[in-house]
């Protein structure tokens, strides 16, 4: 192989590592994306220009065409897609990567296979590539709404596992027996495609991101296998990197959703269990965590904190002040919106916040702050409930109807911290929590805010 190309691949590999690393921190993520992308460009250009092969111009033209077409499609889709549709696009792209790997495997198979090692790589490349492809396409379709319903195949776990076992056994047989019959490989291909479909189809939409991440990790492995096949280091190392990082990411996502990866892989995914029945009554709630809330607030221009009785119960006044100071240091404009009846006695919030030395100038009365919500990036509601309940405007039957409230729903993002979905003093449901803009940060206010402050410091 060409020595310069080797160096180019080496450099590309390093950019992958560094790029991935940078992608893991909010402050460097954008740059990381560029770094990784430029490494990829380098690898592709190097492959094209630095080989020692004799290649007919026709093939160059074909390659050029393929790159043009592919590049145009990719770029267009990426630019056109709506913000909310991005995850499914990622899934689609991932499927393409898998398909590419499977196709390469097929071509390799069509040539004579060498030793068992090579057979293993080629066949596993095809299997993994194919199931990644079909699985990703299904995931894309489900998220996109093309395949709507959660299809409940009876005994799907059993069927899936049997299918998977058959594929593995059959592939093993092919390797050991040295079978090169095209029929067989197409059979295997078909089975793999089918497995991908069956694997993803029964899974609920909410779990899709985990599935996509898992499939993504598999594509990485497929790429690594292809690298093995061509003795190509950039594919090998790059693929493994994606594979291992992808698994870790999948686990992290599972953890963020309070599931285990085992449960995910072995079919505990699924229809019935994903959504807690109760919440459904009014709508879906979105949960968030301290890390996300911290990032949202860190990158906001202005934040309004709405304290309520829960802040007093949790005795979180000192932490909220710390949070406010920290955000202010970061250049975020922070105010407190004080509802006249927040808490359990007149001036409850004032006593509380005075104790932690919050500047009086930051406390804004309801009438003054209400017009400011539409221009507010993030509202953080801490242990308040009735005082931000839109039922006061909307629901004449509600006991608080007619009471002026803090119109937090006009803000761009709303983070609500409380311990549970329990109602407040007035004992009524709060629609705000089901608002699409609202993310619930569950937990005792003191603990949750302490975590939030810690996350913020790590940014």
Ligand X SMILES: NC(=O)c1ccc[n+]([C@@H]2O[C@H](COP(=O)([O-])OP(=O)(O)OC[C@H]3O[C@@H](n4cnc5c(N)ncnc54)[C@H](OP(=O)(O)O)[C@@H]3O)[C@@H](O)[C@H]2O)c1
Nearest approach in angstroms of CB 457 to a copy of itself is 6
List the one residue from 209, 380, 408, 414 that touches another protein (CB under 8 A): 209
Angle formed by the axes of helices 348-355 and 317-329, to 10°? 70
Regarding 243 and contact with ligand X (CB under 6 A), the answer is: no
Q: How far is the CB of 450 from a copy of itself (least distance, A)?
A: 8
**CA 102/CA 128 separation, integer angstroms:** 7
344 binds ligand X (CB under 6 A): yes
| Interaction between residue 313 and ligand X (CB under 6 A) | yes
In angstroms, rounded to a whole number, what is the distance separating the alpha carbons of residues 344 and 326?
28
Site for a copy of itself in 354-413 (CB under 8 A): 355-357
292 binds, among a copy of itself, another protein, ligand X, none (CB under 5 to 8 A by kind): another protein
- Interaction residues for another protein, span 309-348 (CB under 8 A): 309, 312-313, 315, 331, 338-341, 343-348
| Residue 16, binding choice from ligand X, a copy of itself, another protein, none, Cβ under 5 to 8 Å by partner class | another protein
Distance CA 316, CA 233 (A): 54
Q: Which does 61 bind (CB under 5 to 8 A by kind): a copy of itself, another protein, ligand X, none?
A: none
CB atoms within 10 A of CB 354: 13
Q: Which of 207, 386, 407, 444 is catalytic?
A: 386
| Sequence-separated (6 or more) residues with CB below 8 Å from residue 158 | none
| Shortest distance (Å) from residue 432 CB to ligand X | 11
Question: Can you tell me the distance from the alpha carbon of 103 to that of 409, in angstroms, rounded to the nearest whole number?
Answer: 51
Token pair in block for residue 375: 């221009």
Q: How many residues bind another protein (CB under 8 A)?
A: 150
3-state SS string over 71-132? HHHHHHHHHHCCHHHHHHHHHHHHHHHHHHHHHHHHHHHHCCCCCHHHHHHHHHHHHHHHHH
Choices 49-57, 149-157, 191-199, 446-454 (CB under 8 A): range interacting with another protein: 49-57
Least separation, in Å, of the C-beta of 454 and a copy of itself? 6
Q: Is 395 a catalytic residue?
A: no
* CA 211/CA 91 separation, integer angstroms: 9
* Residue 318 binding partner per list another protein, ligand X, a copy of itself, none, with a CB distance cut-off of 5 to 8 Å that depends on partner kind: a copy of itself
Asked if residue 434 lies in contact with residue 391, where contact means CB atoms within 8 angstroms, the answer is no
Residue 366: name the closest of 306, 321, 317 by CA. 306
Which residue among 172, 354, 371, 423 contacts another protein (CB under 8 A)?
A: 354
State the catalytic residues.
Answer: 386
In the complex, the residues that contact a copy of itself under the rule CB under 8 A are: 315, 318-319, 321-322, 355-357, 454, 457
């Amino acid at each position: 192989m060409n020595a310069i190309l080797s160096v180019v691949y080496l450099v590309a590999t390093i950019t992958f590592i560094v790029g991935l690393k940078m992608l893991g921190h909010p402050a460097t993520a954008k740059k990381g994306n560029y770094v990784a992308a430029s490494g990829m460009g380098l690898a592709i250009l190097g492959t094209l220009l630095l080989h020692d092969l004799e290649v007919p111009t026709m093939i160059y033209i074909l390659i050029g065409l393929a790159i043009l077409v592919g590049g145009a499609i990719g770029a267009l889709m990426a630019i056109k897609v709506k913000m909310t549709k991005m995850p499914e696009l990622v899934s689609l792209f991932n499927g393409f990567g898998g398909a590419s790997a499977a196709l390469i495997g097929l071509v390799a198979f069509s040539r004579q296979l060498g030793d068992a090692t090579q057979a293993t790589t080629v066949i596993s490349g095809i299997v993994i590539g194919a199931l990644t492809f079909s699985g990703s396409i299904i995931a894309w379709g489900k998220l996109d709404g093309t395949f709507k319903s959660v299809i409940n195949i009876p005994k799907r776990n059993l069927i899936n596992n049997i299918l998977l076992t058959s594929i593995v056994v059959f592939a093993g047989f092919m390797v050991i027996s040295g079978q090169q019959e095209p029929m067989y490989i197409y059979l295997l291909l078909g089975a793999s495609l089918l497995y991908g479909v069956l694997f993803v189809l029964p899974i609920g939409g909410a779990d899709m991101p985990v599935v996509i991440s898992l499939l993504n990790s598999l594509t990485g492995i497929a790429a690594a296998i292809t690298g093995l096949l061509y003795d190509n280091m950039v594919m090998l190392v790059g693929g493994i990197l994606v594979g291992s990082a992808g698994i870790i990411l999948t686990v992290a996502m599972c953890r963020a959703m309070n599931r285990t990866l085992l449960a995910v892989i072995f079919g505990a995914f699924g229809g019935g269990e994903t959504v807690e029945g109760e919440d459904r009554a009014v709508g879906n709630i979105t949960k968030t965590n301290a890390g996300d809330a911290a990032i949202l607030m860190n990158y906001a221009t202005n934040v309004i904190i709405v304290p309520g009785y829960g802040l007093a119960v949790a005795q979180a006044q000192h932490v909220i002040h710390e949070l406010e100071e920290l955000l202010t240091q970061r250049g975020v404009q922070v105010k407190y919106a004080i509802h006249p009846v927040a808490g359990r006695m007149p001036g409850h919030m004032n006593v509380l916040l005075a104790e932690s030395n919050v500047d009086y100038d930051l406390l804004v009365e309801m009438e003054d702050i209400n017009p400011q919500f539409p221009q507010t990036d993030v509202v953080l509601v801490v242990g308040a409930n009735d005082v931000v309940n839109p039922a006061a405007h909307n629901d004449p039957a509600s006991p608080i109807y007619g009471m002026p409230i803090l119109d937090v729903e006009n803000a761009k993002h709303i983070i609500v911290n409380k311990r549970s979905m329990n109602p407040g003093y007035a004992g009524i449901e709060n629609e705000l929590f089901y608002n699409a803009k609202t993310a619930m940060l569950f937990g005792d206010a003191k603990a949750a805010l302490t975590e939030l402050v810690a996350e913020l410091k790590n940014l």
